[in-house]
Structure 1
C-alpha cells in the first residue's frame, strides 16, 4: 500500500490531531522528543483546541492547517507544517506565538495568568540559514549574560532538509524528522521498515499512517488538497513569468524612449528617430516637444 505523505499538512493533522488516544499519544511523544532535545519540561497530556475533521479542506483547500493543543498545565502548543519557502515566515511564526499567547487569558484576568506558549514549525526547506542544525530553539534572552526574560516564549524550527545521518544512528526528534521525510515517497519501503524497527514510537507512527492512507475519504481529501496546491504553484509560476516578460518589455520601452530623447537633443529629425526606435509617431512628437521645452528653460 502506498503511504500518503505526512509532510502534507492535512495528513499530518490526521496523524497527530485526531480526537483519539493513538493520535494524542503520537502528538505527546513528538512534543516530548522535541522538548527533551532542548532540556525543556515534558508534557503528560494534551487537549485539542482544533481537532482534525475532514471538512477543514472543503471551503478553502489552501488554508493553513495547524494543530493547537493545551497541556495539563494550561500551556499552549501550536504546530505547523511549512513546505514552501516564505520570506516573512519568521515574523509569521512570532505573530502566531503572540496571538496564541494572548489567548491564554481573558479580558478581566491579570497578566500573571498568561501561560507558556510553544510554537513548533516543521519545515521542508532551509528556513534558518544561519545554522546547520536540524533543530533550532528560540527564547527571550539577555544578550550579554544570556539569562531568560521569561520561559513563556518558545519557538522551535525543525528542518527535515537538514537531516543527513543514517537511520541507524538517529535519536529522538531526529527519528520523527526521518519519518516525515521518508514516508510517502515511492521506493522507500526498505527505509521505512528500518525506521519502524528503530523504536516503538516509529512503529506506532508508521502503523497509524498506514491506517490513514487506507481511508478512502482521507485519500479523496488528500488528492483535492494536493491538486489545489499544484494549481496554486502553477498560477504563481505563470504570474512570475508574465511579470518578467512585462518587465523586459517595459525595460525595452524605456531604452527606446531614452534613445529618442538623446537623438532629439542632438538635433535629429522626427523621421530618423522613428526609424531607429520604432516608437509610434504620436509618442515621438510628445517626446520631441518635451525635449524642446526642457531646452528652452
Structure 2
C-alpha cells in the first residue's frame, strides 16, 4: 500500500465503507469478517466461527444514490446461527429498542412455517457505536441475554445482543500486548484519521487479518465512485444531524426567552436566575457551583445579557468569566 493512499483512507465507521470492507463475496472479505466476529464475540478453539454465508452481501449498485438505506451485515454461521452487525455514529431511533427489534426480526426468520419452535436458531446482534448509549457502566463492551431475575440462569441462549462503544474504548496494553478485539477496535476507531498511518502499519504487521483489512480498505478508498458515494452518504447524515440540532437549539432558545419573560412578569430577579440556570444546564450539562452562585447574585440587566448571549457562548467558563467581570470578582 502506498503512503499516498494511506493518507486518504476512508473511515470504516462510514456504513457504506464498513459493508464494502466486510461483506464482499470474496475470500479476503470473508476471512477478515470471520476473524472480526471471533474477536468481538471472544470465541476460541472449538467455539470459533469457521465459515459464514452472507445473507445480504455487499452490492454497490444496490445502494447507489440511496442515502437512507441501512447498511448492516447479516450472516449465517456453519452451525446455523444468525449474526447481524451494524456500525452507527449517531444515537437515533431509541437504539436499545431498535437492537431488540433487529434481534426479534432475525430470530423469527430462522423458522419456516412447517418447522417446530425447536428449530429456532440462536441470533446475535452486534452494535459498533461511535457514541455512548449504556450510561450504567464505563465498560466499552456490554452483552445481554435472557436471565432469571433472582438466580441469574439462562432461559435460553438464543438471545445475544452486544454493544461496543468506541468513545469509551481505550486499549489497556501497548500494541504488542493487545488482545485481538482491542486491535480490531483500534483499527475501527483510528483508520481514516489524519496521523494514524504509523499506528495502522504497526497493527497490520502484528495481525495478518488486519493487514488484509488495510489492503481492502485501501482499495475501497481508491475507488473514486465508491468514495464519492461514501461522501454523499456522510453529507446526508451530517445534514440530518444538523437539522435535528438546529430544531433542538431553536426549541431551547424559545424556552429561555419564555422563561425570562415569565421571570420579568413576576418582577423577581431570583426567579429569572433560577430559570436561566435551568436553561443553561440543559445546554451545557451540570454547572459549577461558583457559576450558579454568581448567577443568583447578578442583577436583572446582567441576566438579560446572558440570556441574549447564551447561544454565542461555547462553555460554562465563558459565562463565569463574563459574570466575574460584571460583578467585579
Provide TM-score, normalisation by structure 2.
Answer: 0.73
Q: Per-residue displacement from partner, 1:211-240 (whole Å, max 9, x unpaired)?
A: 111111211111111111121122112212
1:188-267 aligned within 5 A: 188-251=196-259
1:111-126 aligned within 5 A: 111-126=117-132
How much is the aligned-residue C-alpha RMSD, in angstroms?
A: 2.2
Partner of 2:178: 170
Query: Any stretches of 5+ residues in structure 1 without a counterpart?
Result: 260-297
Q: Shift in Å at residue 39 of structure 1?
A: 9.5
Partner of 1:107: 113
The question of 1:6 aligning with 2:9 is answered no
- The answer on whether the counterparts of 1:43 and 1:71 sit within 8 Å (CA) in structure 2 is yes
Q: Which has the larger radius of gyration?
A: 1
1:161 aligns to what SS in structure 2? coil
1:136 aligns to what SS in structure 2? strand
CA distance in 2, matches of 1:39, 1:84: 35
Corresponding pairs, count:
259
- The answer on whether the counterparts of 1:116 and 1:152 sit within 8 Å (CA) in structure 2 is yes
1:61-140 aligned within 5 A: 61-86=67-92, 88-140=94-146
- The answer on whether the counterparts of 2:31 and 2:209 sit within 8 Å (CA) in structure 1 is no
Pair 1:258–1:134, CA change in 2 (3 A): closer
CA distance in 1, matches of 2:44, 2:98: 23
CA distance in 2, matches of 1:191, 1:226: 25
Pair 1:39–1:152, CA change in 2 (3 A): farther
More strand by share: 1
Greater CA deviation, 58-67 or 120-129?
A: 58-67
Partner of 2:32: 26
- The answer on whether the counterparts of 1:35 and 1:42 sit within 8 Å (CA) in structure 2 is no
Pair 1:87–1:187, CA change in 2 (3 A): same
Q: Shift in Å at residue 147 of structure 1?
A: 1.9
Pair 1:95–1:53, CA change in 2 (3 A): same
Q: Shift in Å at residue 34 of structure 1?
A: 1.8
CA distance in 2, matches of 1:164, 1:248: 38
